Each structure stands twice: as structure tokens, then as C-alpha cells.
Amino acid sequence: MKILLTADLHFNRPWFEWLLAEAPNFDLICVAGDLFNLEDPSGFIPQMVFLYDWISRFSRQPTPIALCSGNHDLPPGSLLVQPGIPIASKYLSTISRYALSDSWIQALKITHRISVDGDQKIVRTKSGEAVAIICCRYRADGGVDRWAQTSGNSLVLHHEPPASTSLSMPKTGNGEFPLILRELKPTWCVSGHVHFTPGEENSFLEKIGQTYCFNCRQTPPSGPLPPRPNVIVLDTTSKTAAWRRWFSGTSYDEIVAKL
């Protein structure tokens, strides 16, 4: 099974389109939060419309996808649209789908192959393997929603990396998350939030108890962006994780770790 792990796309449309094009090459795609850009001058409505259109197109191919929310993803009090800018009538049907859902991310569950916040379910891949997918919502209070312990392989998506690990440096990370990982023992977890930081160690992998934890160390949205996002390719057959940090349209640094 080959799983593509990434996070922090921050409404960078070329990265979304690249993921869509790459999806047929993988058994599962995971995006660990910050799909939107809190600081985008257009507000959230155009981002929400784009994301719904993108996930609709993604759903037409067979590769499943798992998403979780991050701190940029419609926090309370967010500006949906800039004052004085009307909402185009062509957007209204899409916005109504969000409005009718319990939370904005639930509106993206248009097929059974899409997992979002609050989901814990078995995904059977094209290769015939099964993995339990757990998608944890972002909580501004620092809490982590618990999940039911499972047998077999499991993968947890949680936007903030576990605290007191190399994955959270040079920030602090989430203090509750590593405690739950040690208790519930998922096979893997993927986070984002802490981007690539020049001059720092920029670790992409650390084992906590029995869990291999990943952070793709996305290129920060404040600087020049490469045409492709940083990703981790998790290969369960070769038992490897390959971190690809893109710096041009066709080239990337790759570090491969044996698991």
C-alpha cells in the first residue's frame, strides 16, 4: 500500500490540482489540516467554493482521501467574504451545502471514499489492504478527540504534531496528543502545522511508543511557493517513508527512512 501524506495546502490551487493528478498513483491520500488560508484577502467564500468543486472532481476517481481540519480552517469569527463584495449567485448552491451540514468539512463527504473530521472507518485500498482511518478535528482549546482503539493497521490525522518531539520543533505542539498516542497505539499518525523552517532540524519522522509519527514540513505560505507541495510517501510493502521536499517543478530532495 502506498499512501501520500501532506498538510497545510493553504488554498494554493496548483497544489490541489497536483494532488488530484497524482491520486491514481496511490492507494490513499491524506491531508492533515489547513486546507484554507486564513489570511487570503478574498475571504473564505471563494475558498469554500473551490474546495467543494475540487473534492467533487476528486471523487470521480477511485483513490480514497482523508481530510482533517486545522487552525486556518474556518475558526470562529472568520470573515467569509470581504465587506462590500456581494456573493455571486453561482456560488449560492455550493454555500447552501455547507450551511446544511453539521460542520463545514462534513459537506465534503460526497462519497464513502472521503473521510473527514470525526470519522473512524476501515478503508480498503486498491491493493487489497485495509487500514483504519481516524480523522481528528482541530480544537483551539488544545484538546484531542479520542477514538476507539483498533486492531490491525491504523492511521490518525491530527493537525498539530505531538508536543515535546522533533516534529513540533521549533514550536510547542499539542501536549495531549502524545499521551493519547502512547495509550491507543495507532500504527501511524500524520500532522502538519509546523512548516519547514530554515536553520532548524526539520525532522519529518519520530516514533512515539508504537506509533510512527510524520510531519511533511510544508513550505510556509508566506514565502515563494514551489509548484508542488512537500509530501511523505508511506509504503507499507517496503516499510519505508520517503519525505519529498520540492524546490522546483520537477526536482525535490528525498530522504527515505526505514520503518
Domain of residue 236, CATH code: 3.60.21.10
- Counting the structural domains of the chain, the total is 1
User: Tell me, what's the pLDDT at 79?
Assistant: 64
Kindly provide the b/e burial profile for residues 229-258, where b requires at least 16 CB atoms within 10 angstroms of the residue's own CB.
Answer: bbbbbbebeeeebbbbbbeeeeebeeeeee
User: Tell me, what's the pLDDT at 61?
Assistant: 95
Structural domain boundaries enclosing 19 = 2-258
Going by C-alpha positions, the residue among 60, 47, 71 that lies closest to residue 113 is 60
**3-state secondary structure at position 115:** strand
**What's the pTM value of the predicted model, to 2 decimals?**
0.94
Q: For residues 40 and 30, what is the distance between their CA atoms, to the nearest angstrom?
A: 23
User: Tell me, what's the pLDDT at 81?
Assistant: 66
Q: For residues 47 and 34, what is the distance between their CA atoms, to the nearest angstrom?
A: 12
Residues of the chain with pLDDT under 50: none
User: Tell me, what's the pLDDT at 77?
Assistant: 66
User: Tell me, what's the pLDDT at 145?
Assistant: 97
